[in-house]
Chain A
Amino acid sequence: MKTIKILTLGAIASLASLSFAGDAPAVTPVDQCRLALDDAKNNMPANAYAAKLTLAEGFGTLSALETIYADDDDSKLIPTFLENCKKYAEIAKLQGETQALHNHISENWEKRAATNRTIEAIQEQIGTARSGKVSDLEAEKQAIKAQKDKLEASKNEAMDKLNALQSQMIQVTKDARGIILSMSDILFDVGRATLKTDLMTSLAKIAGILSVYQQFDVSIEGNTDNTGSEEFNMTLSQQRAENVMNFLVEQGIAQTRLTAKGLGMTMPIADNSTKEGRQKNRRVDLVITDRTQKVQ
């Protein structure tokens, strides 16, 4: 388009320079009309029918102008015809541009439709991906619940078995820490840490339960009343706890599942001013905790 314009202007300039030279034909109104129409014809979209009709009118005016000019190159009609011709060219050019815009608009509508179809397809894919995830998540939740139920059932079963150990010498309770087996100091020799046979029998049963229910860890805590020195009580409680732990290890319980600590008189569960209270405070607690619940 640019090149054609340059060539057109060049042609006008050449014709003009020739006219100044005097010995060559001047740029006649006919030439000017034709150049304007030819310029308007350039880059016209194929479907610019209105523009083409206008151009046809313009060429009609050019023919008329040629006739008038041929008859009388000084005719008063020439300026008006030339201006009309230029106007046809201008209108045709504008109509051509407008048609090109309409063509571009149509292309863009098609592009929009295609883009929107793509968006819809992506939205569907997102929906599918999300619903897939929901069902995966649901399955995972159900599996977790099943596992939890299984563990809970196992725990209840263990609890039943541990409850069966309940006796005058062993109290079975449950608190936030887990299942607590409180063993009376009757099961120990007075002032000593040696395990009595009854205690060993009970501990063997506990070991049997622990070997079946592997999810349980045991914290063995030795406790005393407030009689005697603090240091003695601490040492005695520590030794009793360790002896219980060692016995359980001997019964095949992994040491990694067991801890032993002496708490001395620091953790009384009853009033130390009464005989009954002191009796309750002298004990070894087996705090049985569920490892799987700790993880959760």
Chain B
Amino acid sequence: MKAKIFACSLMLALAALTGCSGSQSGINRSLGQADATRSLINENKLDAGITSNSYSKLVQAKALKDDGKIEEAQALAEQSELDMRLAIAKSENEMAKNEDKKLEEALRADEERKVLYQSILEKETKK
């Protein structure tokens, strides 16, 4: 899942880097990207609060686009997508923290085992 999120977020980031203009194609791209990110968020069951907030921004962006306020619509669509990317980043960060914590514990246990075996060896060689 982590790899999937990473690959998707990287793809989205690259897509965004290719440039967003105030043009019709630009707003369509931004809205499409925000929609795709939303699907990704839903698939991976990330923060529901963020999802609903970003969804309402997306709806708003679409409304602005319909009103012809292209630049505003594009900026809001981008924001909607950023909210979701932030949720992804938080989720990844949380997963990494958990993994790091577990690994620290495992390493500590290994170190304790090492000390134990060293003491056994000392006893065995002293006798």
Contacts and interface: CB of A to CB of B under 8 A. Distances in A.
B72 A57 contact: no
Contacts of B118: 122
A111 interface: yes
B121 A125 contact: yes
Contacts of B110: 112, 115-116, 119
Given A60-B17, A112-B107, A133 B79 contact: no
A53 B7 CA distance: 13
B79 A50 contact: no
B93 A98 contact: yes
B61 to A, nearest CB: 10
Contacts of A97: 93
B85 to A, nearest CB: 5
A108 B114 CA distance: 15
Interface string B22-33: 000000000000
Contact of B13 (A53, A101, A108): A53
B92 interface: yes
A115 to B, nearest CB: 4
A155 to B, nearest CB: 34
B98 to A, nearest CB: 10
A95 B114 contact: no
Given A57-B13, A102-B96, A87 B127 contact: no
Interface string B95-127: 011011001101100110110011011001101
A105 B90 contact: no
Contact of A84 (B72, B78, B103): B78
Given A84-B79, A108-B107, A119-B110, A77 B71 contact: yes
B3 interface: no
B36 interface: no
Contact of A122 (B19, B79, B121): B121
Given A50-B9, A57-B16, A105-B99, A94 B93 contact: yes
Contact of A111 (B71, B90, B107): B107
A116 B112 CA distance: 11
Contacts of B111: 115
Looking at chain B's contact residues, the main secondary structure is: helix
A3 interface: no
B89 A94 contact: yes
Contacts of B1: none
B79 A129 contact: no
A105 B96 contact: yes
Nearest to A100: B96
A118 B114 contact: yes
Contacts of A118: 114
Interface in B58-94: 71-72, 75-76, 78-79, 82-83, 85-86, 89-90, 92-93
Interface in A76-135: 76-77, 80-81, 83-84, 87-88, 90-91, 94-95, 97-98, 101-102, 104-105, 108-109, 111-112, 115-116, 118-119, 122-123, 125-126, 129-130, 133
A31 to B, nearest CB: 19
Interface in B1-46: 6, 9-10, 13-14, 16-17, 19
A88 B82 contact: yes
Contacts of B90: 94
Given A81-B75, A98-B93, 20 more contacts: A53-B10, A57-B16, A60-B19, A84-B75, A87-B82, A87-B85, A94-B92, A94-B93, A97-B93, A102-B96, A108-B100, A108-B107, A112-B107, A115-B110, A115-B111, A118-B114, A122-B118, A126-B117, A129-B125, A133-B127
23 contacts: A57-B16, A76-B72, A80-B75, A80-B76, A80-B79, A87-B83, A87-B85, A88-B82, A94-B90, A98-B93, A98-B96, A101-B93, A101-B96, A101-B97, A101-B99, A108-B100, A112-B110, A119-B110, A119-B114, A122-B120, A123-B117, A129-B124, A133-B127
